[in-house]
Structure 1
Amino acid sequence: MLSLEKISELLGKESELLLQHTSSTIDKSLLHLPGPETVNEIYGPSSRNPQVLRSLGQLFGSGRLANTGYMSILPVDQGVEHSAGASFAKNPVYFDPENIVKLAIEGGCNAVASTFGVLASVSRKYAHKIPFLVKINHNELLTYPNHFDEVLFGTVEEAWNLGAMAVGATIYFGSENSDRQLVEIAHAFERAHELGMATVLWCYLRNDAFNKDVDYHLAADLTGQANHLGVTIQADIIKQKLPEVNGGYKALNTGTSSYGKLDERIYTQLTSDNPIDLCRYQVANCYMGRMGLINSGGASKGAEDLADAVRSAVVNKRAGGAGLISGRKAFQRPMADGVALLNAIQDVYLNKEITVA
């Protein structure tokens, strides 16, 4: 178990900024915070049927973070999303789907998220040992020239048949295909709930216009609105990249074009420059935490991965989020090291000295 001292050491020069921060934006008393009674108290009063609540109970009740209200998920859909060779060349054992599931189990994760093919290939052996989260749509990089469009790779019924507790999907908000994706996934999530499965939405932004002087794909105001659209179609859990900047709406509102709607209080009262406050705005857009926010772990950078993963977990937890979903940092290294990294993430959520800001 990582001590607070070790976590502080990994945070380095950001230690005080992140561990000592007191938020003066959206007060934590307004949030629905993760806890042992998350399923009963937060999801229970909703329209979700008992089968969905049971699935959520299994997701929140598995792994090292069982019954804390927090989640640690291993996602490995990179064989499609980033191509198998590019994703698994560093560690070819993960061409074999069984090793993906083994890593999630050994790493103490709440669930393993992957493709229809990966999870179906080992479902009879593992579906009863760790909750399966089937990613039902993907962006593939074999079409020439490459384009960016999430398309369905199977049906919700297929996910249910292979024993999944949940389905996941991506919508590229801001893209030319986002309206179609929104309708497709809203219908898919409705069907998943009918069958008793939980739903997780990757609320990602995708538009070349969002790349300006900085990358506004990571802007708190834009990602926050993407989250709000995600919970609108009744996603139970939102996956989002950690925000690094703000002011996306302002940057895209030029003298010649108008984009979206904004209120200056988004920038002056509801957020600050602190990473925790930027993330809290994302939590606020998940119905003040009624639907859990899990942030992504990001790409592997080698030696920096452990510190980066711990930092992301600290920001998410102190913002009021519900956990982390980290893949490449874990599976693009030897399994023992991947397990250690996943455990380090979980240690942040298990450490009672790290509280909501």
Structure 2
Amino acid sequence: MRITIKDIARRLNVHHSTVSRALRMDPRIKHETGEMIRSYAAQEGYHINLNALKLRGSLRNMIALIVPNINHRFFSNIINYLSDLANENNYVLSIYQSNENFDRECSLIEKLIQQDVAGVIASVSDKTRSGEHFRALNRVRIPLVFFDRVLYDADASRVTANNREIVESLVSELAGSGRKKIAHVSGPDHINVFGDRNLGYKNGVKKNGAGYFKQVIIEEEFNLESGRKAAMEIFSAEIIPDAVISTSFFLSMGIISHLGEKNLKIPDDVVVAGFGDKLFNSLLHPEIISVEQPEEEMASAAFQLLVDQMEFGGYPVNYDYKNIELKSRII
């Protein structure tokens, strides 16, 4: 349970207005008294609620959304869907981006605790390996829902897609059409999305007896240049693949660019398949096989899970957190 200004005042035998002023560093409060109050507040895990101090009320209708990068079309689509849902249900959606920076993500959580937001929906950065900073939300009873890139060491519901299953199916579909040398360009295993896709690729190759395995893991930003570098590594080998699966639209663009430089035709010489929506893939020439992710369903499920928990009272004992896996589809 969160400690309040009145709790601190009662335990230190001072007036609650004195506590409030001390936490705001009001010069009217004696130095010794202010130090005593701030020290006790920090010891008890009290976070200064800036909105309460300024506005006499917390942002109990504000939902915070944390995404790695708003320039990524997947996340921009999620933002659009959640904005509509929040507006329809009389909530305000406040959007934050970590820019794939762990320290910034930690700082954002601190600010959201200070603002005493109603709840948080988050997809973590590619540098995040632990949920310790998100557990701070648990301690102050702010509801939390993860989506897409999720963590399992914080109390939260989660919404993901069937990444392992869909990549395994994609390998099987390519193998069934006669493509037996299938390469894979993806991200690091510690991010659940890419770890699941990598496992799906491995399972698919094994299941279909392809006898060829080439996976390039991209640790840097997913963009056209990193896609080109991955393609250069793949197509400079002695054995040339006849299909490539990419985990990102921008990586796919880089791969296609390099194939053009090598005078390899799509799909005659090499089939390219990748994650990305139908609109973006229609801009490519020739079009590639696309995995369409359940963006609208994911936004809707995450929003409903958060609202359910907020209405239930935050973090009641033995709360039934949900893990929802939605279906992507090959188009």
TM-score, length-normalised on structure 1? 0.27
Higher alpha-carbon Rg: 2
Compute the TM-score of the two structures, normalised by the length of structure 2. Answer: 0.28
